[in-house]
Amino acid sequence: MAGDDALTIHEAAETTGWSPRMLRYVERSGLVLPERSASGYRLYGPAELQRLRTLRELLERFEVGLSDVSFALRMRRDADLREAVREWLDAQPSRPEHVDAADWLRWEQEKHQRLLNTQLMETAPR
């Protein structure tokens, strides 16, 4: 299959920055589902590779998790859910500016900071 442009899981891992383990996890999350060969091997085509790369960028840029994107996908597919969530959010009662994002934003930022800290400690333990 030297001429084919579908990569196996290890090859796809190298060119996308995911680990093989994570490619399987991403698949189970429903976000990138590669074709399968007759014998069950995952086959990543150009489209899947691109999606995997942009997915990485999305997660890193906004500090969101796979589960968040999975939920967005679920909302995309489930009209009832999408509508219910939209209605609840639309009913932002009275002062949406009361939120001010003060406390909440600070909390979010601290969470991300904690994340960054642990990541830095892992990559530069000294």
Contact footprint for DNA (CB under 7 A): 1, 8-11, 19-22, 24-25, 29, 37-42, 65-68, 70, 111, 114-115, 118
Does 79 engage in binding with a second copy (CB under 8 A)? Answer: no
- Tokens read off for 100: 């001010």
For residue 48, which amino acid is it? E
Q: How far separated are the first and last CA of the chain, in Å rounded?
A: 45
Q: Which of 62/121 has CB closer to a second copy?
A: 62
Which stretch in 1-9, 10-18, 75-83, 113-121 sits in contact with a second copy by CB under 8 A? Answer: 75-83
CA–CA separation, 55 and 71 (whole Å): 14
CB of 30 to a second copy, least distance (A): 4
- Taking CA atoms, 10 is separated from 42, 57, 92, in Å, by 10, 20, 47
Q: Which of 47/115 has CB closer to DNA?
A: 115
